[in-house]
Structure 1
Amino acid sequence: MHQLSLEAVTALGTAQLNTLRDPSLVPVGDHLRQRFGTPYIPSFPTGFSDTLAFIGSVAAACSVDAKQALDTEQAIQAEILADFADIGDSQGVFCGPVTDHESSRAAREAADALHIRVSGCKEACQLPVHPVVGTTGVRRMLHRWRRAIRA
């Protein structure tokens, strides 16, 4: 919201749903909901399960059926896991510059889905964990893991 034009500011009230960049913007979401009646979702999804919940929340807020979108998303997630089956059953330790709870949870979920054993052993293969947004973010993270495991 830092560099919005006046036209963009006046259009804020026309949205059917607002998605906030992160939970710290909830006061902004509350204000827009109070002022314009626009519901909001407090942040972007982190990881696979959050993406499914996000789709459900968007559908509910917009009064639409989420089944087709959820089925499509689940198929995409299954395809991603199949694409990375070659790194399944590996062992590693999470590392990275950011250790926020959401990214760690998304990393753990992906590791569990691929049967990757995560240990605290510093000598184990280092699996980089970065902020993960949605399914695409998980795919990027898994590419990094593949490079680390094969190095």
Structure 2
Amino acid sequence: MISKHSPTDISRSEGCTLTGVLSVTGFLEDAVTVIHGPSGCAHHNASLLHASLAEIDAADLPVLISSSLSEEEVIFGGEGALAHALDIAASLDPDLICVISTCIADTIGDDCAALCRQKREMPVVYIPGAGFLGGGFSEGIRNALMSLLPLSSGADQTDDAGVMIVGEKNLEYEAEENFYEVIRLLSLLDLNPGIRFVRRMPASDCTYLGSAPVAILREPALHQVGSAIQDRFGTSIIQGFPIGPSESLDFIRSIGNLYGIDPVPAVREEEGVLDDLFASFCDLRGLTVRIEPAGANPASLEAAQAILQALGMKESASGMPLPLPFDPPVGTGGTKRMLHAWRRQISRA
């Protein structure tokens, strides 16, 4: 049979779908992840995960089990191997088992979802992880978050539901710094964060995903997940962490309006923080610089240009080249870190 997918459909500029799924399930506490595929696939992705965690000084590896498909199972079907792996996972008595399919499992047509529906003492969630026909790391993250949503009916509530944070980049170097920046902005409105879906989150908390009245997505690319949360639970959605100084103010206004809180005092307080921040970098005022747009995240570029304008810095092709962060600067805190990076670059010139 000739595939309808063209070669351009299978090219991708990011990592494997399976790795994206693991970057979510690996941060569920009291959970076990079963990778249904050859042992080499599990080993390769576990090695990638270990290296990425080491880069961010996180040494704890999640519990991973491979169904270790052999040539025989690839030919005759691997559902028996998956059932055996599920028995091993269940013997560890986790609160949740996540089953990730791989390219091989999807190619041979194993019905992973049917096996996951079989009754066990703990919930078993099937997450598509095959990316051989155009998937990628980001799709893996979306698949994982979407597959975990049905664990909550919306009927179970928690008394201390705060603002839910959705889809944090668990392998991002500044993940905690970005989270604390969001906490700081919420605190200006006397609000607290709630469930971090999913970052170092007890698997049992999946039951309470419908408790939060408001959820903040890590980035707009998760809009499908946000729509699903809104449709399922009636949750109000903020489409992304605030990028740069101006979005911090808009973020405060949006959150305040959703909660019926007057945002004006909080906005004025944050404006004062921004004024103090730019005053502390007055040595950069009037400098002629250059920002390379090639390959840059558009949000990073937009934030950088807003900061240049706020400081009265000038752009020129012959100016001092300034670095942009890999991920856009989150809020005022991210802006401060980027300005420090610029100052270091300029001082070395």
Q: TM-score, normalised by structure 2?
A: 0.41
Q: Find 1:134's aligned residue among 328, 331, 341.
A: 331
Matches within 5 A, 1:137-148: 137-148=334-345
Residue 60 of structure 1, CA deviation: 1.1
| Distance in 1 between residues matched to 2:286 and 2:203, nearest whole Å | 53
Give the structure 1 partner of residue 304 of structure 2. 107
Question: 1:2 aligned to 2:62?
Answer: no
Conserved in 2, the CA contact under 8 Å of 1:96 and 1:129? no
Question: 1:76 aligned to 2:273?
Answer: yes
Residue 65 of structure 1, CA deviation: 0.8
Secondary structure at 1:132 match in 2: coil
Give the structure 1 partner of residue 251 of structure 2. 54
Residue 98 of structure 1, CA deviation: 5.4
| Largest Rg, 1 or 2 | 2
Residue 85 of structure 1, CA deviation: 0.5
Instruction: Using the TM superposition, name which of 23-32 and 90-99 deviates more.
Output: 90-99
Residue 96 of structure 1, CA deviation: 8.1
Conserved in 1, the CA contact under 8 Å of 2:293 and 2:301? no
Q: How many equivalent residue pairs? A: 149
Residue 120 of structure 1, CA deviation: 2.3
Q: Find 1:116's aligned residue among 313, 320, 334.
A: 313
What amino acid is aligned across from residue 310 of structure 2 in structure 1?
A
Per-residue Cα deviation, 1:23-68 (whole angstroms, up to 9, x for no partner)? 1211111111111111011111110111111111111111111011
RMSD over aligned CA atoms reads 1.7
Give the structure 2 partner of residue 37 of structure 1. 234
Per-residue Cα deviation, 1:113-134 (whole angstroms, up to 9, x for no partner)? 111111223xx31211112111
| Distance in 2 between residues matched to 1:103 and 1:73, nearest whole Å | 21
Conserved in 2, the CA contact under 8 Å of 1:96 and 1:128? no
Conserved in 1, the CA contact under 8 Å of 2:236 and 2:258? yes
What amino acid is aligned across from residue 40 of structure 1 in structure 2?
I
Residue 6 of structure 1, CA deviation: 3.4
Q: Which runs of 5+ in 1 are unaligned?
A: none
Residue 95 of structure 1, CA deviation: 3.9
What amino acid is aligned across from residue 127 of structure 1 in structure 2?
L
Give the structure 2 partner of residue 25 of structure 1. 222
Overall identity of the aligned pairs, in %: 34
Secondary structure at 1:13 match in 2: coil
Matches within 5 A, 1:82-97: 82-95=279-292
Q: TM-score, normalised by structure 1?
A: 0.91
Instruction: Name whichever structure is richer in helix by fraction.
Output: 1
